[in-house]
A and B are shown apart, each in its own frame.
Chain A
Amino acid sequence: DAKTTQPNSMESNEEEPVHLPCNHSTISGTDYIHWYRQLPSQGPEYVIHGLTSNVNNRMASLAIAEDRKSSTLILHRATLRDAAVYYCPPRSGAGSYQLTFGKGTKLSVIP
């Protein structure tokens, strides 16, 4: 089964950049890397995804390692609203539909 490794928790000061790492050494060559976040009592919220190249959108940037075995979600200026659990869930396996959510990284933002 596909698996990812993320730190359990991270802290950032408000207005500072945050780099959230994810190791996904078993990802298949054709699977997109997705990041989601979950605010308290809400559903997972899509943040960003990419395949090989680095990606930017209005929420964040995604830096993907050349070998695709790891990626980093970058929040350029953390706000209090960014305090959430961040996930990089892989698909369960080749041809699988299911996303496998782990414990994710709980990001705390300090005012």
Chain B
Amino acid sequence: EPEVTQTPSHQVTQMGQEVILRCVPISNHLYFYWYRQILGQKVEFLVSFYNNEISEKSEIFDDQFSVERPDGSNFTLKIRSTKLEDSAMYFCASSEGLGSFTDTQYFGPGTRLTVL
């Protein structure tokens, strides 16, 4: 069964450093998403991406964050200058379509980001 994959599974970084989290969405999917979950809290939406553009972003997704689809398979989340409060699990998701039977989002296993 196709699945979303994410690398690395765990990333440790120093405050102020840049990190790139990588995702490989399901191959025929066209919509891509990033969510995050701070330990013990709810899963929060960050951004959605379609047709090489951001479709929607939350208040969390400020200028420190960016997303990119550098090639036909990868989808990345970059945090330019990490802060302690960026420590969280980051989940990538993808869906085939939107607003129909095909809009189910499938999530990856997550990357645990620890900022020291």
Contact = CB atoms under 8 A, between A and B. Distances in A.
A43 interface: yes
B43 A98 contact: no
A43 B107 contact: yes
A49 B100 CA distance: 11
Interface string A35-69: 01010001111100101000000000000000000
A38 B91 CA distance: 12
Interface residues of B, number: 26
Interface size range of chain A in the complex: 20 to 34
A60 to B, nearest CB: 14
**10 tightest Cβ-Cβ pairs between the two chains A and B:** A98-B45, A97-B48, A101-B43, A43-B107, A44-B107, A43-B91, A43-B110, A97-B56, A101-B42, A43-B109
Interface of B: 31, 33, 35, 42-45, 48, 55-56, 58, 89, 91, 93, 98-101, 103-110
5 contacts: A46-B104, A46-B106, A87-B43, A97-B48, A98-B48
